[in-house]
Structure 1
Amino acid sequence: MSSPTLADRMKIAFEGLRAGEGPLTCGQTNTWQWMRTDVANPMATLQWKLPLPADTPVADVVDAFAILLARHESLRTTFHEHDGKMRQRVLRSGVLVAEMHQVDASADTELTSQRMIDQLRQKPFDLANELPVRLAIALAGDKALAAVTVYSHMAVDYGSMAILGREFAELIGATGDRSVGAPRHQPLDQAAEEASPRGRRRTAAALRYWTQHLRQIPQCLMALPPVGDGDGPASAALRSSAATVALDRIAARTQASPAAAVLAAFSAVVSVRVGQSRCVFASLSSNRFTSRLRDYVGTLAQDGLVVVDVTGPTFDDLVRQTSAAMLRANRSSIFDVTELVTHAVQINDEQGMDFSRDCVFNNISAHLPPGTDETTNVQLPPLDPPDLRWSPTAGAAEPSTLTWMPAPAFPNRLVLQLIAAQPALVVGLSTGDTRHVPPPEIAGLLQGMETVLVASDAGPLPLADVPDLTGLTPVPRDSDWVRVGVSWVRLSEVQHLLRDALATPAYVTAEPDGDRHRLTAHLLATDSVRTPRQAHTACMARLAGRYAVSAPHHYVLHDSAPTDLTDLAAWRTQPVLAHGDGRASTEDHR
């Protein structure tokens, strides 16, 4: 099928309740932080296929979208720099130009929708001179067959798009009663609230939460040795009716949400596999925790930091702990990103680590109507026919399925998405790094997670039973792996860091410190690296983006290097010019 033909452009006039200008919200600031240097990033533009009943008049689509533009100020906002700071400017009235594509009445609406999206995404948004939304409609005569939108991430997040999709469907169905309605909580209001004394107390509390945990979490959760030669992405989706039945009973016993039970089960199996009792996830779509934000259309794109300690006698205990951890993370997910970065840099310098954000949890099901299978807007292909089928229990009425899907390149080692809890559990698991997380690892974690949930159907499951129940075993680790604080670290990766950062002969050793290790680097001093502080600063500058690695705790600078750089005894015979930990907080950098 060829791309839909652009037949016309239609001007959609809108008039809202007010115009205004003000500072960015925390969510907008966080989004702009990365978008400003990477406007072509695929995540800078989001997409949504609008729900359309059969034989919907084009005029109804236009009327409904005009009301959405009037109702939600984020859709009629431009962004401008003033005195070095970005500000948002809301237009009261204006025009959105929609693309109208003429298609045959028998056209495949899914293919047509995707190709219209591809065309709308061809160029980045000009945020200063263009509305942050684009609309395309496929029509046959005067009937709309499909309608799609793309948005700038500065205007919406996933939750916002789901709200807009739901309200659009309501407006299409309410042919005789379409109105803008009462004033809503808008991004200008959110920015003012965040700047108020109460808002500043809340963001300060969130900052304390983050800084406390950044000192206590592993640098990388999926600290795994490389397997094979793969280095691209992979993605799979699990569908399990048996797990849904179990989720209902787990919820009845624990009073926790399906999302908490799913994340607890995933944490339980990951903990076994990586030998790490503290599991950490950057949680997306999780900060609509007040009544004013539940129907808020605007980007709240900031991470929640969910820290799950896999402890407790039973899985039910772990579910309750995970539920509490998710609540704490959600309440601490609106913060001043500039302040957090400042504190994170200081913490990184002290610890010699940079949190890798390698594992992400995204509860998409929270934004989809219960009982629906709206997979088109979570970029999943049809889940039938599956690649794998199996029965999670002997008497399972419906087999579980695992479907492999194409995946775009992305930086995380694991992204867990809860897509639906009803009528069947649908969970997606993706990796951007199949060299360390190959497809069998993904399949094993998903099936292990399902096994834990289904086994908990009958009652509380002892956590000690998880390894035997799932068949998962800890990843084998040779002498290259050591524990540094709560993190697994590969000495060979630290050696690579020293080579790349210092460009001088260097050798790292791991010295036992209780059940952990401390790292010491011996190196040949150079004109640019004459002190421990200079050595540590150089290492920290090259640390971002590395996994299972830490800067040394102690640096010893020599005026000569041994012939065999791996001979620690020989290093110790070389004259010492300076030694110390190199941290900014330490005065002694001898």
Structure 2
Amino acid sequence: MLTVAFGGTRDGQAPLTWGQRLIWRAVHLMGDSQTFLSCPWVLPVYGRRDLGSVLDTLRVLLGRHESLRTTFAATPQGPVQRVARGGELTVDVVEAGQERALRVAERLAAELGRTAFAHDRELPLRCAVVVKGGRPTALAFAFSHLAVDFQALNTLSQEWRALLRGEELPPAEWQPMDQAAVEREEPYPARSAKSVRYWHSVLAEGPLDVFDHPPREAEDPRFIEVGMESVALATAAQRLAERWKMSTTSVLLAACATVLATVSGRPRAVMQLVHSNRRDARTRTMVGTVEQDGLFVLDLPATDFAATCRAAHRGALTAYRNAHYDPFEMQAMREEIGRRRGREPDLDAFFNDRRTIGTWPGLPPAGPDEDVARLAEKTRTYVTNAWPGVRFKAFFTVVSAAHTGQLSLIVDTAYLPGDIAEAMLRGVEALLVRALTEEVPMTAVPQVCGIGPYDGRLRTAGPPGAGRSR
């Protein structure tokens, strides 16, 4: 075990940024389940480096980015971020042995994130160096989501590679304390008020629940994450996006929202979209958490899935435009609606595209559209994690992977059992693959997806491709 001493150019205390406020509330709602918000990350060591030079590079990152030397605390005036000018980070050193070093690093990163951060006294990152034959090969991290989002992690990866090459980086000019200050000045308050009004227009009269049916006896564990790896999914989404001149995110969102609406037995899907919120040039390379949730509404058209994708694209743009707000003001509005309607609307359905690029550059050749369906024979589904108490009814995540489409779905099994979650993922794939070769009427979606409305009892037509390897 080693210590890395670090120092920066300033210290200070400031209110939380809007992005930090969103995560602060989530941390306190989740309690022990806040480990869901930990961000595991691996930085490979490029070239033949010794341990000293690797730790020196880590020291540079800690000095550059104030969020990595920040603690968070509640005060009578509200939660604050406290930036330390200097300090020490403890780093474990782990020998990979006969295992692949990156695999060991990935496992270590996951393990480091399984303990909740003590945000008031602990730096928002944990680190281990994986060595093989005495030479460092990778760094394994767990970051608190209060300090980083996935765009920030990609910035750290780019800087890490550049620093190892010996490049001089320009100073990191914009930091979370700067962001917190500017969010108190116009036009930010007006922007927040506009977003709150939009959310209010949806929540004031919309459904109070994600699903109409009451909870059933939950499975054990109650909250599970089902994953799917599908080259067919990625190939179809990429081709449809090119055909319809939209992003693959819009295509995947449309398919997930359609399946969710079908299972809920409603003509409308209401979901929260995790949005990067980095339209301001100053935040594009800021290491901090800027992500916020947008409110997405999709009224299923009576025509076909192509029209649904176009409607989803428009709906996503509306959600993104209204995803920059003070979470404390947003929560006050939701509580006011709760007092008027008897309780707050349940918004525990989410979609998150974690990819940094909207394509899959490593996809294998797939041949003509008619052949893509054969790729679905190799699709794999599996249970990846169990999350105690995360409170999500349905949470779709598109995972970064170059060579295959990875889509996961966290469900509360009191509302959607595991086999329904698997059927929903298979249904997303089936819908996209079918849309490649024919127009899919919305009336045909249950048959194409192999799943219909769920009311607490199993009522599926059997997931498409039943019998594939799990």
Taking structure 1 as the reference length, the TM-score comes to 0.68
Q: Is the 8 A contact 1:99 1:137 kept in 2?
A: yes
> Where does residue 418 of structure 1 map in the other structure?
398
Flag the structure with larger Rg.
1
- Report if the CA contact (8 A) 1:102-1:138 is conserved: yes
Count, aligned residues? 448
What is the one-letter code of the residue matched to 1:133? L
Distance 1:318 1:122, change over 3 A: closer
1:15 aligns with 2:8: yes
User: Which residue is equivalent to 2:468?
Assistant: none
The aligned amino acid for 2:406 is V
- Kindly provide the CA deviation profile for residues 117-148 of structure 1, in whole angstroms up to 9, marking residues without a partner as x: 47745765444444322322133465113311
Partner of 1:211: 200
Written as runs of structure 1 = structure 2, the 5 A alignment for 1:350-499 is 350-366=340-356, 371=361, 396=374, 399-409=377-387, 410-420=390-400, 423-431=403-411, 433-458=412-437, 460-475=439-454
Mapped partners of 1:290, 1:312: distance in 2: 38
2:18 to 26, 33, 39: 26
Q: Structure 1 residues 448, 83: CA separation in 2 closer, same or farther (over 3 Å shift)?
A: closer
CA distance in 2, matches of 1:69, 1:37: 29
- For residue 374 of structure 2, give the secondary structure of its aligned residue in structure 1: coil
More helix by share: 2
Relative to 1, partners in 2 of residues 1:185 and 1:309: Cα closer, same or farther, differing over 3 Å?
farther
SS of aligned partner of 2:199: helix
Is 1:335 equivalent to 2:297 in the alignment? no
1:187 maps to: 176
SS of equivalent residue, structure 1 residue 195: coil
Relative to structure 2, which stretch is displaced further, 399-408 or 29-38?
A: 29-38
- Of 308, 311, 319 in structure 2, the residue corresponding to residue 321 of structure 1 is 311
Give the alignment of 1:493-532 within 5 angstroms: none
AA aligned to 1:77 is T
Pairing 1:3-402 to 2, within 5 Å after superposition: 8-16=1-9, 18-35=10-27, 40=32, 41-43=34-36, 45-53=38-46, 55-81=48-74, 83-92=76-85, 94-103=86-95, 105-109=97-101, 112-113=104-105, 116-117=108-109, 120-121=112-113, 124-140=116-132, 142-172=134-164, 174=165, 176-177=166-167, 179-224=168-213, 230-231=219-220, 232-366=222-356, 371=361, 396=374, 399-402=377-380
Gaps of 5+ in 1: 1-7, 374-390, 479-590
Structure 2: how far apart are the matches of 1:324 and 1:95? 47
> Aligned in 2, Cα 1:320/1:348: closer, same or farther, shift over 3 Å?
same
After superposition, the CA RMSD in angstroms is 3.2
Q: How far is 1:415 from its partner?
A: 1.3
- State the SS of the aligned residue for 1:197: coil
| 8 Å CA contact retained: 2:232, 2:373 | no
The answer to whether the Cα contact below 8 Å between 2:96 and 2:104 also exists between their aligned partners in 1 is no
After TM superposition, the structure 1 stretch with the greater mean CA deviation from structure 2, 302-311 or 29-38, is 29-38
Three-state SS of the structure 2 residue aligned to 1:472 is coil
Deviation at 1:200, TM superposition (A): 1.0
Partner residue, 2:464: none
Gaps of 5+ in 2: 364-368, 458-470
- Following the alignment from structure 2 to structure 1, what is the Cα–Cα distance between the partners of residues 114 and 421? 33
Three-state SS of the structure 1 residue aligned to 2:445 is: helix
SS state at 1:437 partner: coil
2:416 counterpart letter in structure 1: V
- TM-score w.r.t. the length of structure 2 is 0.84
Distance 1:275 1:150 in 2: 39
Q: In 1, Cα distance between the equivalents of 2:133 and 2:240? A: 52
* Aligned residue identity for 1:202: R
Task: Note the alpha carbon deviations across 1:528-576, whole angstroms, 9 max, x for none.
Answer: xxxxxxxxxxxxxxxxxxxxxxxxxxxxxxxxxxxxxxxxxxxxxxxxx
